[in-house]
Amino acid sequence: MFASIADQLGDRATLIVFGETVDLVHVHQAIGSCLRFHLWIAVKREPLVDSELATGMKHQHVGALVYTKYDGQLHHTKTRLEYSYCPACQKTTKDYGGKKHTYHPYGTLISDVWRDISVNPEGDISPVLERFADLFGVEQYRELRVCDLRQVLPSRRGVSKPIGHNAPAAPYLESRLLNGDVLSELRTLPDNSIDFAFVDPPYNLKKQYLGYADDLKIADYFTWCDAWISEVARVLRPGATFALLNIPLWAVRHFLHMETILTYQNWIVWDALSFPVRMIMPAHYAILCFSKGDPRPLPGLKRSFTENNLFHDPSAFRPLAPLGEGYCLRSQCVAKRAKLGINDRGILSDIWWDVHRLKHNSRRVDHPCQLPPQLMHRLISLFTEPGEIVLDCFNGAGTTTLSAHQMQRRYIGIEREERYHLMAMERHAEIADGIDPFRKADRVLTTKNSPVARLKKQKYKISKKTLQLEVRRVAQMIGHLPTRKEMIEHGEYPIHYYDDYFTSWGEVCAAARTSGMRETREEPEYPEGTYSQKRLF
């Protein structure tokens, strides 16, 4: 059916497929080769759906795949969402810090995780239809045609993979870090020996890892992935969970292999905005959760207590009690809410929006891809009991095994590159000495996980904000964004400050493109006839 729809699309058409996660995976399998894939948008669902297990995570999202018949970039409107405000302090949910002058007064660009609207996929889906009508309200699209197949398609029934539960008990494994090839080292581990496996593999996106070229041909990449996925499934204990992190497009392909040997549990949407690129910002990272046979009740949800938080702001982050929607993380507001007894906690579902990427170099070590320890703290809390064993076969600088070590779990970490392996060893030794390996520290970093060059560490004689506001002044004076030559001619400050403090001229001009935003909840005054939409611009 979907292949037929794809064949009938016009040359300038866009196809959106909206539905449940498992169904979308198989839709992509059917039509992904004949259309150009652009987005997997996660949409918040209401009401939440209970897991088949009483102690499983609640399902809180559905999805929308976006394809085009044409090549090139996706044609759509520049869509902004109004800023959200904390109900306790009435300031923006996100602390924009010293960059408020560079943000648009109305709101932020839309991402591919939609939590500002919600929809019941079995009921009224008009909020999603209205959003897509706004998003694709450009001249090339003449109509939005809706095909409602909910009453046409057969119901889907989940199938578990039978696993013998009479396997002999695996030998007790001590914690250790292994330096070697992922497949070779996995094959040394006994069957049915791991209580939880987490994998954040190379994404084949040409990142600069030491000793590994992250640019295999795509067929070779997935053949390699299938091999280590199968090995991880072999070493997993019956009922235990394997969690795999990747971008949605690659996660679809991993899903198709994993469902042949394991049982699907959850597609966790990690709302993890990284480098802001494109007009629809990529924030959706998928964590695929599959079990070996029928899943056991999730240990973290069956426990009657929340494990002690090991990080620096225990009142703001609790692994099994996420921050409620709309509350901010400002330390003063967090303390005030605690003093007033305000319940600012939400339900742990399969949308994780309160775990943020590492933004500051003081939290990083010299590795191009580092996950926040809070992410691993939540996963390990949810899927394991104290004393159980955790596996990460792409351990890098050790975030997974370090988190397991801190939380009194055993661990096995596999890492091919010796430098990263030794780095992880040193950080585990810090835990043994009572030192937090995730602390802030003054380190010299040589690697970077983005195409933007790293600036040298320096003391700013003139603040970057002052320089950017000076560019805004010059732009208003001359009637357009100034060039470097025009800033030399009209600007108050020497041009070398701009050269030394900014990575690009685009960053220099960031504040000149907008009038800036306010942090407190105040209705901005707009000129007559502008910004006419209340929620969506």
- Residue-wise pLDDT for 345-402, tens only, equals 998 999 999 898 877 665 667 556 789 999 999 999 999 999 999 999 999 889 999 9
- Assigned CATH for 2-135: 3.40.50.150
Q: Are 320 and 81 in contact (CB under 8 A)?
A: no
Is residue 289's pLDDT more than 50? Answer: yes
Is residue 448's pLDDT more than 60? Answer: no
Mean pLDDT of 479-503: 95
- Residue-wise pLDDT for 122-170, tens only, equals 999 999 999 999 999 998 898 899 999 988 877 665 555 666 555 667 7
pLDDT band per the 50, 70, 90 thresholds, residue 455: low
pLDDT top residue among 4 and 530: 4
83, two tokens: 């800023």
pLDDT top residue among 212 and 302: 302
Element (H, E) at 367: none
Pairing of strands 113-119, 36-49: parallel
Question: Per the CATH hierarchy, to which homologous superfamily does domain 178-310+361-432 belong?
Answer: Vaccinia Virus protein VP39 (3.40.50.150)
What integer pLDDT is reported at residue 209 of this predicted model? 34
Mean pLDDT of 95-102: 86
Least confident of 129-138, 276-285, 402-411: 276-285
Closest-CA residue to 5 (of 64, 69, 74, 62): 69
Least confident of 18-22, 196-200, 318-322, 529-533: 529-533
What integer pLDDT is reported at residue 370 of this predicted model? 82
Least confident of 163-172, 197-206, 410-419: 163-172
Distances (CA, A) of 283 to 102, 273, 327: 20, 4, 19
Which of the 8 DSSP states describes residue 392? E
What integer pLDDT is reported at residue 275 of this predicted model? 59
What integer pLDDT is reported at residue 239 of this predicted model? 94
What integer pLDDT is reported at residue 206 of this predicted model? 60
Number of H helices, E strands in the chain: 15, 16
pLDDT band per the 50, 70, 90 thresholds, residue 53: low
CB atoms inside a 10 Å sphere around CB 35: 22
Is residue 445's pLDDT more than 70? Answer: no
